[in-house]
């Protein structure tokens, strides 16, 4: 991964940006992390997805399925969708101000993490008591909360791009863009969950849903064009709103294109989209964590810059090892996890470690929901400092049409 810039570059007060035409894009001083890091978040998962698509087109069905499962495993375990979850707790250990940014936050996060351990224990015992109930519970919990978590991170990075643009003197987001940003998570969550759980995978008679967990009769495949139309109208309105302002942020537009591509693939071709979507999410969290782990002025000497990536890799190794065992030693690479796999049934220790992994993922979801509550001033101050976005900024120009 390309090293990230240590802070926010802001223009001198005397520097004036030239007027920009509507639809034009600016890139200078607008990369959120660095050109290499920002582009890697989009290009690497897309390349992996294209490899999966190429395998489907040019290889025999059995070989293509194996290649696709390998790409999905790579997105989960190497690009970090399933392994990045421990980085939240590494951040707590290195920079305590993140944990203590709001009153009662340490207590709430500890209580939530313990509750998630209890959920993991429940999943452990349901895998013994009733395999079908276990599969259903894990599929619903991790797809609903996992998708909400992924889409919320999209919206968060979208907001950070807006903040970066404001620091560079770009116009503030228009009222329409703000409304669409608020709508992003509930709309896309509803559309994508409907697609994978409640719409037939194909036009064949009695075709099941993409994720069949015993939900029974599903909507006909002809429902899919309606979902695609909702997705298309949303993103057409969004790009129109963003590009109408003069001198839009080029990195933000590229990121929004990545969001549109990943969610669109998950809608039209889930087997491909669920390579790009988790791959993007893991890489986003890698670069976010690396940025937030950097020491800032006044920090006690805990973790030097040169040790950040080694510490991140070391903390993720146990979950990566668990992914290797499941993916290559027992069951073969699979399209994500729908529960404790068949191979783990004969290994109580592995069953327990898998349940513990589920609990860590849920604890990560819970903790992230607290530490990124930017509407709380104390949290906003701490997190923007950790992200290197708390420097002096020029006030943004008013949104087009604003008084």
Q: Say if 16 falls within a structural domain.
A: no
**To 10 degrees, what angle do helices 131-167 and 270-293 make?**
60
Distance of CA 192 to the CA centre of its chain: 14
Strands 248-249, 25-26: parallel, antiparallel or unpaired by DSSP?
parallel
Which residue in 392, 334, 379 sits closest to 72, CA to CA?
Answer: 334
Residue 1 pLDDT class (50, 70, 90 cuts): very low
Global pTM? 0.88
pLDDT > 70 fraction of the chain, expressed in percent and rounded: 87
CA 316-325-87 angle, to 5 degrees, is 10
Count of C-beta atoms within a 10 Å radius of residue 340: 25
> How much is the pLDDT for 395?
43
For the chain, the average pLDDT equals 86
Grouping H, G, I as helix, E, B as strand and the rest as coil, residue 30 is coil
Q: Say if 333 falls within a structural domain.
A: yes
Please say if the pLDDT value at position 75 is more than 70: yes
Specify the higher pLDDT residue, 194 or 5: 194
Please say if the pLDDT value at position 267 is more than 90: yes
Please say if the pLDDT value at position 258 is more than 80: yes
Where in 183-310 does DSSP place strands (E)?
248-249
Tell me how far CA of residue 64 lies from CA of 69, 256, 305, 332, 351, in angstroms.
9, 30, 41, 14, 29
Please say if the pLDDT value at position 338 is more than 50: no
pLDDT digits (tens, 9 = 90+) for 171-205: 889 999 999 999 999 999 999 999 999 999 888 88
Which residue in 98, 152, 89, 109 sits closest to 312, CA to CA?
Answer: 89
Q: Say if 193 falls within a structural domain.
A: yes
What backbone torsions phi and psi does residue 337 show, to the nearest 5 degrees? -110, 130
Please say if the pLDDT value at position 311 is more than 50: yes
Q: Say if 84 falls within a structural domain.
A: yes
Residues 19-36, mean pLDDT to the nearest whole number: 83
Please say if the pLDDT value at position 343 is more than 90: no
Of 64-68, 117-121, 390-394, give the lowest mean pLDDT range. Answer: 390-394
Please say if the pLDDT value at position 345 is more than 80: no
Q: Say if 8 falls within a structural domain.
A: no
Please say if the pLDDT value at position 401 is more than 50: no
Residues 251-260, mean pLDDT to the nearest whole number: 97
Query: Which residues, 6 or more positions from 205, have their beta carbon under 8 angstroms from its beta carbon?
Result: none
Which residues span the domain enclosing 285? 25-386
Overall domain count for the chain: 1
> How much is the pLDDT for 394?
45
Q: Say if 290 falls within a structural domain.
A: yes
Q: Say if 17 falls within a structural domain.
A: no
pLDDT digits (tens, 9 = 90+) for 148-157: 999 999 999 9
CA 391-392-396 angle, to 5 degrees, is 115
- Read off the DSSP letter of residue 392: -
> How much is the pLDDT for 344?
52
Please say if the pLDDT value at position 92 is more than 50: yes
Q: Say if 398 falls within a structural domain.
A: no
Please say if the pLDDT value at position 244 is more than 50: yes
Residue 327 pLDDT class (50, 70, 90 cuts): confident
pLDDT digits (tens, 9 = 90+) for 295-308: 998 888 888 899 99
> How much is the pLDDT for 60?
80
Alpha-carbon torsion, ordered 322, 326, 327, 332, to 10 deg: 170
**Are 49 and 68 in contact, with CB atoms under 8 Å apart?**
no
> How much is the pLDDT for 287?
97
CA 259-395-23 angle, to 5 degrees, is 45
Token pair belonging to 74: 């790579």
Residue 65 pLDDT class (50, 70, 90 cuts): confident
Residues 380-389, mean pLDDT to the nearest whole number: 93
Which residue in 202, 222, 323, 342 sits closest to 271, CA to CA?
Answer: 202
Please say if the pLDDT value at position 39 is more than 90: yes
> How much is the pLDDT for 13?
38
């Amino acid at each position: 991964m390309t090293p990230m810039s240590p802070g926010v570059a802001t223009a001198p007060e005397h520097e004036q940006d030239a007027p920009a035409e509507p639809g034009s894009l600016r890139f200078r001083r607008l990369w959120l992390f660095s050109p290499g890091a920002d582009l890697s978040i989009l290009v690497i998962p897309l390349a992996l997805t294209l490899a999966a698509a190429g395998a489907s087109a040019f290889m025999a069905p059995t070989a293509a399925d194996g290649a696709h499962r390998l790409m999905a495993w790579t997105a989960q375990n190497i690009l970090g969708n399933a392994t990045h979850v421990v980085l939240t707790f590494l951040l707590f250990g290195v920079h305590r101000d993140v944990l203590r940014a709001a009153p009662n936050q340490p207590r709430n996060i500890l209580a939530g993490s313990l509750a998630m351990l209890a959920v993991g224990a429940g999943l452990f015992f349901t895998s013994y008591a009733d395999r079908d109930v276990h599969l259903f519970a894990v599929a619903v919990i991790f797809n609903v909360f996992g998708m909400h978590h992924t889409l919320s991170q999209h919206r968060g990075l979208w907001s950070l791009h807006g903040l970066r643009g404001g620091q560079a003197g770009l116009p503030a987001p228009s009222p329409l863009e703000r409304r669409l940003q608020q709508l992003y998570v509930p709309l896309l969550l509803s559309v994508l969950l409907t697609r994978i759980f409640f719409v037939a995978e194909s036009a064949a008679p009695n075709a099941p849903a993409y994720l069949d967990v015993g939900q029974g009769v599903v909507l006909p495949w002809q429902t899919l064009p309606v979902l695609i139309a909702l997705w298309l109208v949303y993103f057409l309105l969004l790009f129109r709103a963003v590009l109408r302002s003069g001198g839009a942020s080029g990195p933000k537009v590229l990121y929004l294109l990545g969001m549109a591509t990943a969610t669109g693939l998950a809608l039209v071709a889930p087997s491909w989209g669920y390579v790009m979507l988790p791959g993007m999410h893991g890489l986003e969290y890698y670069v976010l964590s690396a940025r937030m782990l950097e020491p800032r002025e006044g920090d006690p000497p805990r973790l030097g810059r040169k040790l950040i990536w080694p510490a991140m890799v070391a903390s993720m190794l146990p979950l990566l090892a668990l992914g290797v065992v499941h993916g290559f030693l027992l069951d073969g690479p699979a399209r994500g996890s729908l529960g404790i796999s068949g191979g783990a049934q004969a290994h109580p220790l592995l069953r327990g470690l898998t349940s513990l992994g589920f609990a860590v993922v849920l604890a990560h979801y819970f903790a992230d929901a607290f530490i990124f509550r930017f509407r709380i001033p104390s949290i906003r101050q701490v997190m923007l400092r950790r992200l290197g976005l708390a420097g002096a900024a020029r006030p943004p120009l008013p949104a087009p049409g604003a008084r």
